Structure 1
């Protein structure tokens, strides 16, 4: 319905395994049977599944079932022109909610990804797009996830949908709730000398863009490459434990220090502190993580990796293998010395 009729030669359809040796069905068989039993009439999925569609169509035919309509949506692309990757980008809607974007503005922005309204209209309500939606208007090429465009749309909603009288209430609900402040006050009570120091000490819990510093991220002559691997391993450790809170974060710092053979306090904690706060001191870090939240915590480590130059696919493969083996010490390197 988006790309029109697509024909695939038989020679390009491989001999797919449908049932594994343990008797369980593979994804392709389970997917088709499940969709049929649920009486699915339209399958909307990303372009990366286009190559699997001939297999699914043949299975429908083999069972004598009516094929559903297939719509393959354009992929969301990152700033590098490649598919938006969870490994490199914040991809959770919760991240954008926690960063202060309005739900209606975010939905408006997402609907623009690979789609265009009549007269190139860019600001519209959900009811408007429902009333006017036409799958023929969905683009066939990848859609660039343009954060600057998202910022502009969100600003329009802030100006036009949130009154001046209601603005502080919305900001307070977003980031300065009584519940959040009750968690934060014990962390700063004995650390501030004046009320004016509150924001100076805690700004990292409210702002979206931390001013990263290469020197702080590479303590004790740690190389940028090692710091990036530490950041990536922190994410992996918390993902494995499914805990991006205080306990999971603290355990991750110890897991990473052990795996890389690095000093926990002098290296790993300093990298973690600089990643989360942009500094090497501040409120208790582990307690602060519970306030910052999962999505922002994860995004901060991704930002550190990007800031320091990024990890190539080859080096990521090596790191993955070493991390899964529990020993990354051979990958640790010192920063090159001048002269």
Structure 2
């Protein structure tokens, strides 16, 4: 039975499903979930991420990790962690760039957090010849805190779903997924009688707000780990850097937006990262945080323009392509502004590269 039919039957028996629960099932249902069965990255897949646009992205993240390691005192042993490594391209590029730092690779315990079986297989093939052999775990809780941690999470928060709430003329309601008499999935509103934390900003009737318990928990768990182990976590994602309204739920298939409810499990489903909620949760859990920086500014601070110029010099025939890649990663009308970077770190004395003011 298709996931859509199973969800419709479940909803008919138990009642409307929260948007967050629906997205989780679309992505991680063990039988038919998108990441469990058919993740498709790259130009020929459903979506593309920054590491697949240009080697420059992963190289600069690798140099960011090296600089962070040096600012931590170049410990003889540390854990380099990537959450949601995609097809392994980012880490492959990062490890290659890190060869410039004597001692970094020798001190590195490489850990990849990946719940998707198909993607673990792709990552293993990509990193088979890497300078450091990775090991895989399924959650942050499986990482020991007896050594400093340097963690990278590129486009992870947008995979952690949010519930949606709507201000109506009669009060607040939650947007949920229900089922029609004909068996199709549909959105509807369920009134809220209690247990809802109203936002601290103005919301007009008809407007939607999103609240992600999973994103906040991720920030909290990162902070707890770093407060104990020391280190820094770099978060890069598309999303908001201040509280606000908006329905950001979308499904992507072959790089085009599709109906979120039409074919659950067959498309990538995402929502914006809520950086304010994640960083607030981290502070409450005992770590320090940076502010948000646009991806374009962050990459420029790390030296992407100089790196692009070196690549152009070495490969003049590829100069136009390199220029387009640079523009896509940093342009304010492309990924440069919508995508944000922020860091969670400990101890307070640590200065995180790319966020100095």
Asked whether the two chains share a fold, i.e. TM above 0.5, the reply is: no
Q: TM-score, normalised by structure 2?
A: 0.20
Structure whose residues are more often strand by fraction: 2
Structure whose residues are more often helix by fraction: 1
Comparing both chains, which one has the higher relative contact order based on Cα–Cα distances under 8 Å and sequence gaps of 6 or more?
2
Q: TM-score, normalised by structure 1?
A: 0.21
Q: Quick check: which has more Rg, 1 or 2?
A: 1
